């Protein structure tokens, strides 16, 4: 019996984890986030487990995690393709010990909550040295994060490259690679943000150079998550301003090429581009990317 090509296309579509940063709101918690993502026809998603500029935890019972993952997997998605973004407010690279300890304790608590919820992928910003020596800031970051990450070996932590504003650390793949070598744990890897990489000075038009640089400095096996964003600013601006896909300086072709590359196929890809809040812009961009790489 001949295979049904529509069935093959659907299986292929489901095999590409692609989605956006979705809201988590009361009263439905993660269950509402999953419904939001499914409404976009997404196959991946990213959420904050609490307010991004607060350290206040969300009670486990308000997450509705088991119901959320049941709905997600019943629709052919993988729990491993739901990422959590760690809170923006926390800085593990700070010269102030109290600030670093707060970041460590909140990270430990959030990773433990993820374990209870059945989530296994976290994106984390490495922070800023606050105008002090950036190499010393990277060392502080590694010393702060390593013992916490080691206590949660079942969760993959992808440290995100930053655009280079002020005294941010982890700017570009060389710095991320050095930071990962300092931490030196198998469950600690890389979240690649395309806008941040472009704004730090890397030209994403040459995908072979991108992958070669990634392999040389970090390793493809250490790439855990991709934030697929266009940039409002020219390359090297260090501004970190995201643009809708194809309406920025990176351009649609470069981003679609990253999305559809077989070597990156199974890595969750998350849109953080502008959206009015109802998910409509992200849904349109998800469809546009699928069409651009031949899935629709």
Alpha helices in 26-81 (DSSP H): 29-39, 65-74
Q: Tell me the pLDDT tens digit for each residue of 127-168.
A: 999 978 899 999 999 999 999 999 999 999 999 999 999 899
Task: Classify each residue of 110-139 as buried b or exposed e, where b means 16 or more C-beta atoms within 10 Å of its C-beta.
Answer: bbebbeebbbbbbbbbbbbbeeeebeebbb
133, HSE (Cβ side, Cα atoms, 13 Å) = 4
Q: Token match 């072709």: residue?
A: 253
Residue 119 token pair: 């989530």
What distance in Å separates the CA atoms of residue 161 and residue 127, rounded to the nearest whole number? 10
> What sign does the dihedral 252-194-12-124 (CA atoms) show?
negative
Quick one: which of 150, 157, 154 has its CA closest to 126? 157
pLDDT band at 1 (very low <50, low <70, confident <90, very high): very low
Whether 7 has a pLDDT exceeding 80, the answer reads: no
Using the predicted structure, report yes or no on whether residue 3 has a pLDDT greater than 70. Answer: no
Q: Is the pLDDT confidence value at 6 over 70? A: no
Local confidence band at 2 (pLDDT 50, 70, 90 cut-offs): very low
| pTM of the complete model | 0.96
Mean of pLDDT values over 39-57:
95
**Superfamily (CATH) of domain 5-292:** Divalent-metal-dependent TIM barrel enzymes (3.20.20.150)
Question: Would you say 191 and 226 are in contact if contact means Cβ atoms under 8 Å apart?
Answer: yes
Residues 185, 144: contact at Cβ < 8 Å? no
Query: In whole angstroms, what is the distance from residue 288 CA to residue 13 CA?
Result: 13
Over residues 165-219, the pLDDT tens digits come to: 989 999 999 999 999 999 999 999 999 999 999 999 999 999 999 999 999 999 9
**∠ CA 120-21-157, rounded to 5°:** 30
Domain boundaries, the chain: 5-292
- Indicate the average pLDDT of the chain: 95
- 18: helix, strand or coil: strand
Label residue 296 by pLDDT band (50, 70, 90): confident
Minimum mean pLDDT range among 1-15, 76-90, 245-259: 1-15
Alpha helices in the chain (DSSP H): 5-15, 29-39, 65-74, 97-117, 134-150, 172-183, 194-199, 207-217, 252-260, 280-292
Strand 121-124 versus strand 156-160 pairing type: parallel
In tens, the pLDDT along 19-34 reads 999 999 899 999 999 9
- Of residues 5 and 293, the one with the higher pLDDT is 293
Residue pLDDT, tens place only, 235-276: 999 999 999 999 999 999 999 999 999 999 999 999 999 999
Element spanning 124, H or E: strand 121-124
Range 91-102 average pLDDT: 96
d(CA 29, CA 225): 23
Q: Distance between CA atoms of 270 and 242, rounded to whole angstroms?
A: 13
What is the torsion angle, in degrees rounded to the nearest 10, for the CA atoms of residue 234, residue 239, residue 241 and residue 244?
Answer: 10
């Amino acid at each position: 019996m001949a295979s049904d090509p529509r069935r093959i296309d659907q299986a292929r579509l489901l095999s590409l984890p692609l989605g956006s940063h979705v809201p988590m709101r009361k009263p439905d918690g993660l269950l509402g986030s999953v419904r939001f993502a499914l409404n976009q026809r997404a196959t991946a998603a990213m959420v904050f487990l609490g307010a991004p500029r607060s350290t206040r935890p969300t009670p486990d019972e308000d997450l509705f995690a088991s119901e959320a993952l049941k709905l997600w997997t019943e629709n052919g998605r993988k729990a491993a393709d739901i990422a959590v973004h760690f809170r923006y407010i926390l800085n593990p690279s700070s010269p102030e010990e109290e600030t670093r300890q707060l970041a460590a304790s909140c990270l430990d608590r959030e990773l433990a909550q993820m374990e209870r919820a059945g989530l296994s992928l976290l994106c984390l910003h490495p922070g800023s040295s606050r105008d002090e020596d950036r190499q010393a800031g990277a060392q502080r970051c590694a010393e702060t994060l390593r013992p916490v990450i080691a206590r949660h070996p079942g969760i993959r932590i992808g440290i995100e490259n930053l655009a280079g504003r002020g005294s941010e650390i982890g700017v570009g793949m060389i710095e991320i690679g050095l930071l990962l070598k300092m931490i030196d744990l198998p469950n600690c890897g890389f979240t690649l943000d395309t806008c941040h990489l472009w704004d730090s000075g890397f030209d994403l038009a040459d995908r072979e150079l991108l992958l070669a640089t990634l392999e040389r400095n970090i390793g493809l096996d250490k790439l855990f998550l991709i934030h697929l964003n266009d940039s409002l600013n020219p390359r090297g601006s260090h501004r970190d301003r995201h643009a809708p896909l194809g309406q920025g300086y990176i351009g649609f072709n470069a981003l679609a090429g990253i999305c559809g590359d077989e070597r990156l196929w199974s890595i969750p890809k998350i849109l953080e581009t502008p959206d009015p809040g109802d998910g409509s812009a992200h849904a349109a961009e998800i469809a546009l990317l699928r069409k651009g790489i031949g899935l629709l």
